[in-house]
Structure 1
Amino acid sequence: MVGAAVWVKHENLMPTGAFKVRGGINLTSRLDPETRRRGVITASTGNHGQSVAYGAHLFGIPATVCVPEHANPVKVEAMRDLGAEVICVGRAFDEARAHCEALAAERGLRYVHAGNEPDLIAGVATCTLEILEDQPEIDVILVAVGGGSGASAACIVAGVVRPSLEVIGVQSARSPAAHDSWRAGEMVERPNTTTAEGVATGTAFELPQRIMRELLTDFVLVEDRDLLTATRLMIEKTRTLVEPAGAAPLAAALDPAVAPRLRGRRVALVCSGANISPAQLAEALATPAPES
């Protein structure tokens, strides 16, 4: 269907069902004893919050996660199961983040930003390292982008290990803040209406943007309907659960504007997560299958 040799990096099989756990473990492992005693707090649409909650659970650190009121219930339950205090606040991620930042100052907690954290990016970078260890001749990696930790991490690894490697970021056209900021060369805010919460943010993050502006090969947008089509296809073909954000790289690879540059090449798709809600799963499976 893609016309390329395609490898899928199954980050949906990570302990939290998403790649971000790599960053959460790395960051929490490096906190000093006093910070661990006081605890950490973060804002998330789900997978980042799970990563911080998982790392905090491993190292006995109190964790608080602020999520939007309509956050994916699968992800919210998982965070609570890991022992995190989950606070549902605001209609969208940016409102939850603003509340989180205020609460961090009020309680004296270590605020873990969803993107502007070198230790998060360093942890996530191990995903691309593993891709290149298994398939050192990969030509292109496609990575879903919300805040950009995954794509910026891939860029750093590519620059050191395989400079010819192309890294392409993929974001929903209904939440294009990171994409538009990268294109504009400055931080911009945009409407945030995608139903794929793994790529949902209304504003870009400074550190990932700085890295991506220097090293990212290209950045593309896909429609939410194409995310659902790709979700169904990945579930059927890989026999694993995939959330819409995790299917974003495949949606881009199937896009007529992107597919020609991939033909005949070696392509890695980072399947970033499996934390799909029952409602999302039903919608994806009801979506017409793509033509072969």
Structure 2
Amino acid sequence: MSKLPVTLADIHAAAKDLDGEVFRTPMLPAPKLSALTGAEVWVKYENMQVTNSFKDRGAFMKLASLDDAARKTGVVTMSAGNHAQAVAYHAQRLGIPATIVMPEQTPQVKVRSTEAFGAKVVLDGETLAESQIRAESLVKDEGLTLIHPYDDPKVIAGQGTVGVEMLADAPELDIIVVPIGGGGLISGIAIAAKGLKPTIEIIGVESQLYPSMINAMTGKERPKGGPTLAEGIAVKNVGTLTLPVVRGLVSEILTVGEADFERAVNAFATHQKTMAEGAGAAGLAAMLAYPERFKNRKVGIVLCGGNIDPRILASIMVRELERESRIAAFRFTINDQPGVLGKIATRLGELGANILEVSHGRLYLDVPAKGATLDVTVETRDRNHAELIYQELCKFDGIPCRRIDALGHQPVSAK
């Protein structure tokens, strides 16, 4: 492969520079995730940095390298959130004015967190590529220094310290799985890990909606775009420095769909009791989507960020309960008269279902004028329990019943 943008020596030097400036985050075994995936899973908790992502490392390295003139004039960057917060935080620590250009649809939790560190936030563009155009104009018009999120040797070296720490804590790893946006994190980790242990496999993960690195490597043009839970890796352009590294050192890139991102975020919350944003959960999402690829291997995954909107997290957890049929909804067509709801509620209680929500519909044209629909959402023990409840309700007192989607109230087939 072509000359590396940084060396293992550069990454070791970065580790010394970062000592005392960022946290050396835990790298711990995860028995519950191992049981879930069939592999021996270790998690690197980069969500425990001050800004809750690995971006602290590269941002500090670049900012600390600036001369006095550049520090006085200030810096600018474009980011969907985590790099923005890292640049804002460390710029504030170092006394450097910072302007952050963020896509207009960036979650408000990330915008507010960035502003809280004293940076000026400019919302511009539908995508990170469009935000980059605005950032580059500020470089030209105001003389600001661009702190690129991934395509910079100092940033890559800083991110590479994640790989050094992972192998120091778990040298027996067979595979490291890394999310890919522009490629800064996976490039740094790949250079570090392959330098320390040439036999280790590095596997990348992209969103199915943003296969930018795969496109760059293969010359194909898979469609890119759309709303994704993993907005932190939703980039349309990869780095010119990172692409050769990924091509030369990464064994494979897997793509992951939205349901797997949701499942992984939920697994971190429920099994590990830790916060993961969509991009942060990408490594686990890949293991859930492609279990045979990792079965019986010792796998390190980077929980690279935990900046998720609480409302989105709550929605994901409810959706996962429904996917597991631990929340189930039923629609009855009833005679609209006193006592019917009481009879149904009593029967559900006898079946061990806990009622969460009840709603009547009296204006549907497919219901008789003297009738109504009754939607009941219940909590169940598991999928088998939900199916038992459904079968018993279908036989109950001649009242028609069908399963519906607990969230959207759309008919579904019986599980």
Bigger CA drift: 272-281 or 174-183?
174-183
Is residue 2:215 matched to residue 1:174? no
Give yes or no for the alignment of 1:5 onto 2:73: no
The 1-side partners of 2:92 and 2:128 are apart by 23
**Conserved? CA contact 1:41–1:112, under 8 Å:** yes
Paired position in structure 1 for 2:235: 201
Aligned counterparts of 1:105 and 1:278: Cα–Cα separation in 2: 38
Where does 1:58-73 land on structure 2 (aligned, <5 Å)? 58-73=93-108
**Count, aligned residues:** 288
2:63 is paired with a residue of what secondary structure? helix
- Aligned residue number for residue 43 of structure 1: 78
CA distance in 1, matches of 2:42, 2:285: 14
Does the aligned pair in 1 maintain the 2:229–2:261 contact within 8 Å?
no
Check whether the contact 1:190–1:202 (CA below 8 A) recurs between aligned residues.
no
2:309 corresponding residue in structure 1: 277
Deviates more, 1:266-275 or 1:87-96: 87-96
Structure 1 unaligned residues grouped into runs of 5+: none
2:318 counterpart residue number = 286
Partner of 1:145: 180
> How much does 1:72 deviate?
1.4
Tell me the residue number matched to 1:75: 110
- Tell me the secondary structure at the aligned position of residue 206 of structure 1: coil
- Residues in 1 aligned to 2:273 and 2:307: alpha-carbon distance in whole angstroms: 15
Which stretch has the larger CA shift, 90-99 or 134-143? 90-99
1:252 and 2:252 are equivalent in the alignment: no
C-alpha separation between the residues in 1 aligned to 2:134 and 2:229? 22
Amino acid at match of 1:5: E
Give the one of 3, 6, 14 matched to 2:49.
14
1:51-82 CA distance string (max 9 Å, x none): 21122112111100000111111111111111
AA paired with 2:225? N
8 A Cα contact 1:189 1:202, kept in partner:
no
Q: Decide which structure has greater helix share.
A: 1
- Structure 1: how far apart are the matches of 2:61 and 2:52? 17
Q: Partner letter of residue 152 of structure 1?
A: S
Structure with more relative contact order (C-alpha pairs < 8 Å, separation 6 or more): 1
Q: Is the 8 A contact 1:228 1:283 kept in 2?
A: no
Secondary structure of the structure 2 residue equivalent to 1:288 = helix
Q: Paired residue for 2:276?
A: 242
Mapped pair 1:134 → 2:134: no
Q: Is the 8 A contact 1:232 1:287 kept in 2?
A: no
The answer (yes or no) to whether the contact 2:229–2:279 under 8 Å persists in 1 is no
The separation in 2 between residues aligned to 1:17 and 1:237, in whole angstroms, is 19
1:110 corresponds, among 141, 145, 150, to: 145
RMSD of equivalent CA atoms: 1.7
Q: Does 1:216 align with 2:253?
A: no
Offset of 1:279 from its aligned partner? 3.3
Shift, 1:32, TM fit = 0.8
SS in 1 for 2:37: coil
What is the rounded CA distance, in whole Å, between the counterparts of 2:179 and 2:277 in structure 1? 11
Tell me, yes or no, if the aligned pair for 1:45 and 1:197 is still in contact at 8 Å: yes
Tell me the percent identity: 37
TM-score, length of structure 1 as denominator length:
0.94
Post-superposition offset of 1:190:
4.7
Task: Give SS of 1:268's match.
Answer: strand
Q: Does 1:268 align with 2:303?
A: no
